[in-house]
């Protein structure tokens, strides 16, 4: 017998002209990864995007050059749905192109790369842009990082917050406000961490500055403590959710906050309460190692009692992100932003005092 308490009949009616994205997902995404995407949407709508839940978002892969920052993720930030971000440096670097009003173009992956090289055109699969886009972005970053406020030791959250201030101002000057993750994160007080700051063009510009001028010295230890402090605050005053687009270093950095608390600092906490990942990686090759919810339970990263509130959708993030965004915009109201960036120092002190008191 079918368990009707945990199942619903597959819709047999036709899709009609003009159907909304959220109705399409809710009514017709019935099986396989379409169903997993629908589950992720419902979990975000019904449980995650609530006042007492802190949501950490991780970004890997070439999301921003594909326009997914300006088209989708900026809306998440502006609606107060994202509380903190962990990203590759590349996504934050390419994000800046849009704040500077620099053009990127759609093309086909079947192009002559030798010709593109001769013409000084850069390709990211089926995205192309002139080499001058990189040059102008690099000059902008190099100039901004040369400002006195960037001289000294700081975590990547502070680095990107300060950079976001300049990017936001530039967007306003050029009349293209609302185009960047960095600008939106600055306005909403959303911390942006980068676990591998040397692995991007932002890091390359910092390295160049170090030869002749003052420069921002990245404190990765502070990043670990501040992100862990956010997770501790979420677990002690509500619930913690993670939304992982892709995988890689940002995924692990986002998830490792709980083992840092329970294993290293010996502060008893359960794992993250809600787990959603959109990925095209497979666990059997090691590419998804530690990322499936059940495996993450063994590390203490996910609360085993919350496994029913965990979803892994094996899909291309460039397909999933716009669909999820459209679904949420139709169904979820904006939240009051938590502005965690403004509280990082206090949260870090709170975690430090807790650790010392437990020793």
Each residue's pLDDT tens digit, 57-101: 999 989 999 999 999 999 999 999 999 999 999 999 999 999 999
- Separation CA 97–CA 2 (nearest Å): 53
The sign of the torsion formed by the CA atoms of 307, 293, 84, 168 equals negative
Provide the token pair at 60: 């890997």
Quick one: pLDDT band at residue 273, thresholds 50, 70, 90?
Answer: very high
Q: What is the pLDDT of residues 1-41, one digit of tens each?
A: 455 566 778 878 899 999 999 999 999 999 999 999 999 99
The sheet that has 192-193: what strands, in order across it? 192-193, 84-87, 53-59, 239-245, 274-279, 310-314
pLDDT band at 290; cut points 50, 70, 90: low
The whole-number pLDDT of residue 44 equals 98
Write out the two tokens for 335: 């939240």
Which pLDDT band holds residue 275 (cuts at 50, 70, 90)?
very high
What pLDDT score was predicted for residue 52?
96
- How far is it, in rounded angstroms, from Cα 186 to Cα 160? 8
Distances (CA, A) of 125 to 112, 113, 268, 292: 12, 10, 45, 28
| Residue 186 pLDDT > 90 | yes
Judged against a pLDDT cut of 70, whether residue 359 lies above it is answered with yes
| Confidence class for position 287, pLDDT limits 50, 70, 90 | confident
Structure tokens at 138: 């690099």
Residue 15 confidence (pLDDT): 94
Residue 284 is predicted with a pLDDT of 81
Computed over every residue of the chain, the mean pLDDT equals: 94
Which pLDDT value is given to residue 298? 84
Query: Which top CATH class is 40-96+152-172+179-194+218-358?
Result: alpha beta
Compute the distance between CA of residue 313 and CA of residue 291 in angstroms, rounded to an integer: 12
- Asked whether residue 109 carries a pLDDT value surpassing 90, the answer given is yes
pLDDT at 12: 80
> Which DSSP state fits 254?
H
Report pLDDT digits (tens) over 313-350: 999 999 999 999 999 999 999 999 999 999 999 999 99
Both tokens of 202, joined, read 């932002």
List the domain boundaries for the chain.
40-96+152-172+179-194+218-358
Can you give the pLDDT at residue 8?
79
Lowest mean pLDDT among 123-127, 224-228, 269-273, 288-292: 288-292
Q: Say how many C-beta atoms besides its own lie within 10 A of residue 101's C-beta.
A: 14
pLDDT band at 229 (very low <50, low <70, confident <90, very high): very high
State the CB neighbour count (10 A cutoff) for residue 86: 28
Give the DSSP per-residue string, 89-109: HHHHHHHHHHHTT---EE--S
Could you tell me which residues are beta bridge partners of residue 57? 85, 243
CA-CA distance, 310 to 194, in Å (whole number)?
25
Residues contacting 251, CB < 8 A, separation 6+:
58, 60, 86, 244, 277, 291
Q: Which residues have CB under 8 Å from 232's CB, separation 6+?
A: 257, 261, 267, 269, 347, 350, 351, 354
Q: How far is CA 94 from CA 64, 121, 294, in A?
A: 6, 15, 34
Q: What is the mean pLDDT of residues 258-275?
A: 94
Q: Could you tell me what percent of the chain has a pLDDT over 70?
A: 97
Query: Looking at the predicted structure, is the pLDDT value of residue 286 above 90?
Result: no
């Amino acid at each position: 017998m079918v368990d009707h308490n945990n199942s619903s009949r597959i819709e047999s009616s036709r899709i009609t002209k003009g159907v909304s994205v959220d109705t399409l997902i809710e009514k017709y995404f019935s099986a396989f990864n379409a169903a997993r995407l629908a589950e992720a949407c419902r979990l975000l709508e019904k449980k995650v995007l609530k006042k007492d839940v802190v949501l950490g978002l991780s970004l890997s892969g070439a999301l921003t050059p594909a326009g997914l920052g300006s088209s989708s993720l900026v809306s998440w930030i502006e609606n107060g749905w994202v509380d903190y971000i962990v990203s590759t440096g590349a996504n934050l670097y390419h994000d800046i192109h849009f704040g500077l009003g620099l053009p990127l173009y759609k093309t086909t992956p079947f192009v002559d790369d030798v010709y593109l090289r001769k013409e000084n055109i850069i390709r990211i699969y089926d995205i192309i842009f002139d080499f001058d886009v990189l040059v102008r972005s690099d000059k902008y970053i190099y100039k901004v990082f040369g400002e006195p406020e960037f001289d000294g030791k700081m975590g990547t959250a502070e680095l990107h917050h300060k950079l976001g201030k300049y990017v936001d101002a530039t967007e306003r000057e050029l009349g293209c406000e609302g185009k960047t993750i960095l600008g939106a994160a600055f306005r909403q007080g959303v911390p942006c961490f980068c676990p591998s700051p040397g692995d991007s063009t932002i890091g390359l510009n910092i390295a160049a500055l170090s030869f002749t001028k003052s420069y921002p010295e990245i404190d990765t230890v502070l990043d670990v403590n501040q992100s862990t402090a956010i997770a501790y605050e979420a677990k002690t005053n509500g619930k913690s959710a993670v939304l992982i687009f892709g995988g890689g270093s940002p995924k692990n950095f986002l998830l490792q906050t709980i083992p840092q608390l329970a294993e290293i600092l010996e502060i008893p906490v359960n794992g993250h309460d809600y787990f959603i990942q959109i990925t095209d990686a497979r666990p059997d090759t090691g590419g998804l190692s530690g990322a499936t919810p059940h495996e993450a339970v063994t590390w203490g990263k996910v609360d085993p009692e919350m496994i029913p509130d965990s979803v892994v959708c094996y899909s291309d993030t460039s397909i999933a992100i716009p669909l999820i965004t459209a679904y949420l915009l139709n169904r979820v109201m904006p939240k009051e932003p938590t502005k965690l960036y403004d509280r990082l120092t206090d949260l870090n002190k709170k975690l430090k005092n807790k650790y010392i008191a437990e020793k």
